[in-house]
Amino acid sequence: MEIAVSEVPDPTRCAAASTPAVVVRDVAMRYPGQRGGEAIDVLQHINVDVCRGEFVCFVGLSGCGKTTLLNVIAGFLTPTEGQVLIEGELVRHPDPRRIFIFQEGGVFPWLTVFENVGFGLGGKTPVARGELIQHYLEMVGLTGCERLYPRELSGGMRQRVEIARALASNPEVIFMDEPFGALDYFARFKMREDLIRIWRQERKTILFVTHDIDEAVQLADRVVVLGRRPATVEAIVPIELERPRHLNSTAYLQIRDRILGAMGMQLDH
């Protein structure tokens, strides 16, 4: 089975299916040098379209600029060059319609699980708010944990709280920056399965940064491979495999090897 790899982004990719939710055009990011030192180029000529409801993973070697790119798209950083549009609007700053889930966790330790998920839903009636919170707690498998505090939860459960809170706010786009990086192997594996199940129910647009190639191939509709700093898009790899995906299948291993090759890693087999 031959897996196609797009070496450059195709700006018209979403035209047949839907209008792109996210458009990244000629984005570059340069940090000024410290104490008069030389400026540091992190990103160059980044072009990516993300379709509405698509799950896209960004991978690359450590320090290549994956998180920087996600922060630019989310509006936390202003690009040195180029622009980002989300749902046709120029991104100039963070927006409550776009939710960011971090690796280190963003649950509020002084709030219960119920209160964390309901944070930001103050505009709804108490009944509607409660129904929405319970709906998403059930979706992430935390029914019965409403009165617990984050300190009483495992790392995986705290991440479920964050995902439930993100979904409850009905965002246009969810950004996830290595959200499972601090979890152990088995917890990560279970969270991937659950995230895909939830995504298939909600069909939110998700941009997900990871250093774990297996995680990217397991989760994504497409994988965007960034090169060494200053990073450009080395390849965009479509993952046209049915879910759930089998990590030892020939097609899966071919895709994983293509991504590793695009990252410049030498394969012995």
Tens digit of each residue's pLDDT (9 = 90 or more) over 228-259? 989 999 999 999 999 888 888 999 999 999 99
pLDDT for position 104: 67
Contacts of 181 (CB under 8 A, 6+ apart): 103, 210, 211, 212
pLDDT for position 267: 63
Q: Of 3.10.150.10, 3.50.50.60, 3.30.70.330, 3.40.50.300, which CATH number belongs to 1-97+173-269?
A: 3.40.50.300
Percent of the chain with pLDDT over 70: 90
CA-only gyration radius of the chain, Å: 19
Question: In the structure, what pLDDT confidence band is assigned to residue 19 with cuts at 50, 70 and 90?
Answer: confident
Tell me the pairing of strands 89-90 and 81-86: antiparallel
How confident is the model over 111-168, as pLDDT tens digits?
Answer: 999 999 998 887 788 899 999 999 999 999 999 999 999 999 998 999 999 999 999 9
pLDDT for position 269: 55
Question: In the structure, what pLDDT confidence band is assigned to residue 8 with cuts at 50, 70 and 90?
Answer: very low
- Output DSSP code: residue 36: G
Contacts of 147 (CB under 8 A, 6+ apart): 112, 113, 114
Question: In the structure, what pLDDT confidence band is assigned to residue 7 with cuts at 50, 70 and 90?
Answer: very low
Domain residue spans in the chain?
1-97+173-269, 107-170
- DSSP-assigned states of every residue in 132-169: HHHHHHHHTT-TT-TT--GGGS-HHHHHHHHHHHHHHT
Region 61-78 average pLDDT: 95
pLDDT for position 170: 92
